[in-house]
Structure 1
Amino acid sequence: MEQALQAIFSATFVAAVLRVTTPILLPALGGLIAELGGVANIALEGIMLISACAGVLVSIATQSEWLGLLAGLAAGIITALVLAFFHLDLKADIILSAIAINILASGGTIFVVFLLTGDKGSTSALVSRQMPFIEIPIIKDIPLLGPILSGQNLLTYIAFIAVAGVAIFLYRMRAGIHLRAVGENPDAARSVGINVRSQQYLALALSGALAALGGVYLSMGYVKFFARDMTAGRGFIALAAIFLGGKTPLGTMIAALVFGLAEALSVQLGNLRVPNQLVQMIPYIATLIALVVYALVQRQRAIAHQRRFRQAPTP
């Protein structure tokens, strides 16, 4: 127990939290953009799976991690655009369409892997490439901070830089402001000349790109192979992070870090004599608790708002 506590309160553990937060934070930022654009993307899980599979298969075929990354990105964006086409052009319900994509991704990816490799479980028997790990000069030599901030995978750095990038896009750039206007009130946005359909296509495309990076990280950063359903619900946890973070980039990052902490803690507790099933439940229990707290806070806010409205003097 003492060794486990020492491991938890260490730089190595904090670095692990950043690693396991990455595949939650990236799709969460993508889902945030889609949510603020008025087209909630419930297909994050499926997009991550498809991108993880495409990235690995292309990197195996070409022995290039960069081509694998591009393939994963392309697969994620195309999948998101398919969702946009079904919803915006064919007028299909976006929730049902997203669920269909998630189901298709779960079975379709392993079917493609079996066709190409003959293995129904994973691609671990084949040589895949991995995204590079970056050693930051000077910082790597700083005690305590060095092991945390240096030596992480490239996509981990991209994930946290993307928080600032998404904030700038949403609140400082015209396209992001138009996107949020569409999400707030499509009719009002249309009345001032904003192309609602184009903005929602953009929102889903960006959402697909960020979710794709999360999927590629799982199969080409976290490990070097694709495995069946390897996302393990991270796309849905990312959706929870959006709302727990108050639908803001910074809040979403903090919520993703909380979920990453829970997952890293479950991995660390796996070294103790704790039932494996209980350990694996920790991230999902943390998600449920967080959602309950969020619902209670929202309920209290609604009650307080109603009280202020009733107490307001009538003209």
Structure 2
Amino acid sequence: MNILEPAFVAAVLTAAAPVILAALGGLLCSVSGVFNMALEGQLLWGAFTAVVLSHLTGSAWWGVAGAVTATALYAAVLSVPAVTFRADPVVVAVGANLLALGLTAFLMREILGVGGTYTSPGLDGLPTLAEAGLGGVPVIGPVLGPQSPLVLVTPVLVAAAAWWLRHTRSGLRLRGIGEHPEAAGSLGLRVGPYRHGAVLAAGALCGLAGAQLALGNVTLFSEGMSAGRGWVAVVAVMLGGTRPYRVAAACLLFGAAEAFGFRLQGAGLPQQAADAAPYVITLLALVAAGAASRRRHAARPRLEAP
């Protein structure tokens, strides 16, 4: 398999884009001092609202706008208990994930009238860049032509987040709040509003990720279609820390594994084994990162007591 083959690179970008967007939201929360494990449920909610609004309005772009707005509001399920009432964010996040799973399955039957999977010839999906004339461009055309515009937006958002966190007053304040909330509060910074803003922004990014997954990667909604991508995004944040480019690189590893799994499935490997490939590689990457961290910790010089 040639990893530089345009079709393979295009598949990697398609698979990685929703995960990168969700992980970018998780990174903002991590920088603010809130560990967001609700990315899975928020991504699923974004995918559902994108399809519902595209179905109701006949416009994929209204679906995208609705997904961003609705998922930002849904993020308040985590923000209010964890930030305002200082509840354990892990416990709240697990509840938010379960709520999204059950609520989307229930509303799917109530609004769309079906269970399991909803698809329709009239459901408007996101346009591809090939439709905008990019498909005929040499070299990059075969790679970017099959993508939706949101795939191009994704690296722009990663670069913007990296710049904002390092070069703006509000970004530096958010980092300070995450590292030393008591010291930031003593300097007059309002820790709560910053953290609320980070969690709601993460919800908006997860809504964008869900819209890309449901209207860009495919044009349908199925129960539980996030399929662990939100958890992979959590792992990417754990691997990349608070550096957007490292987080994006970890997500690209997942995208490459998923694209490779599809290739293996086409070569005759059982579907279950091919589907498991991305998550196995992600788990191995997490184990390797943990081992490297332990080695670095062991190599540090220790101060001995006098």
Task: Classify the secondary structure of the residue corresponding to 2:118.
Answer: coil
Task: Classify the secondary structure of the residue corresponding to 2:86.
Answer: coil
Per-residue CA deviations over 1:11-54 (Å, capped at 9, x if unaligned) read 11111111110011000111001001001111001001111111
Tell me the equivalent position of 2:59: 64
Q: Percent identity?
A: 35
User: 2:76 and 2:99 mapped to 1: Cα distance?
Assistant: 15
Tell me the equivalent position of 2:175: 180
Per-residue CA deviations over 1:58-105 (Å, capped at 9, x if unaligned) read 111111112111110111101112311111223321111110010011
Tell me the equivalent position of 1:309: 302
Asked if the contact 1:60–1:126 (Cα under 8 Å) also holds between the matched residues in 2, the reply is no
User: 1:248 and 1:153 mapped to 2: Cα distance?
Assistant: 25
Q: Out of 209, 213, 229, which is 1:218 matched to? A: 213
Asked if the contact 2:129–2:144 (Cα under 8 Å) also holds between the matched residues in 1, the reply is no
TM-score by length of 1: 0.92
Tell me the equivalent position of 2:158: 163
Asked if the contact 2:52–2:112 (Cα under 8 Å) also holds between the matched residues in 1, the reply is no
Deviation at 1:139?
A: 6.6
User: 1:267 and 1:55 mapped to 2: Cα distance?
Assistant: 25
Deviation at 1:125?
A: 3.9
CA spacing shift, 1:138–1:55, aligned 2, 3 Å:
closer
Q: How many residues align?
A: 306
Deviation at 1:151?
A: 4.3
Deviation at 1:126?
A: 6.5
Aligned: 1:273 with 2:249: no
CA spacing shift, 1:135–1:125, aligned 2, 3 Å:
closer
Q: Out of 282, 293, 301, which is 1:287 matched to? A: 282
Aligned: 1:74 with 2:69: yes
Aligned: 1:192 with 2:187: yes
Tell me the equivalent position of 2:32: 37
Structure 1 residues without counterparts, runs of 5 or longer: none
Task: Classify the secondary structure of the residue corresponding to 1:72.
Answer: helix
Q: Displaced runs of 4+ in structure 1, greater than 3 A?
A: 135-143
Task: Classify the secondary structure of the residue corresponding to 1:309.
Answer: coil
Per-residue CA deviations over 1:226-255 (Å, capped at 9, x if unaligned) read 111001000000111112223301101111
Tell me the equivalent position of 2:41: 46
Per-residue CA deviations over 1:178-203 (Å, capped at 9, x if unaligned) read 11111001001001111000110011
User: 1:35 and 1:287 mapped to 2: Cα distance?
Assistant: 19
Q: Spell out the pairing of 1:123-272 with structure 2 (5 A cutoff).
A: 123-125=118-120, 127-135=122-130, 140-272=135-267
Aligned Cα RMSD in Å?
1.9
Q: Spell out the pairing of 1:85-100 with structure 2 (5 A cutoff).
A: 85-100=80-95
CA spacing shift, 1:290–1:147, aligned 2, 3 Å:
same
Asked if the contact 1:29–1:252 (Cα under 8 Å) also holds between the matched residues in 2, the reply is yes
Deviates more, 1:188-197 or 1:147-156: 147-156
Structure 2 residues without counterparts, runs of 5 or longer: none
Kindly provide the amino acid, as one letter, of the partner of residue 77 in structure 1.
Answer: A
Tell me the equivalent position of 2:12: 17
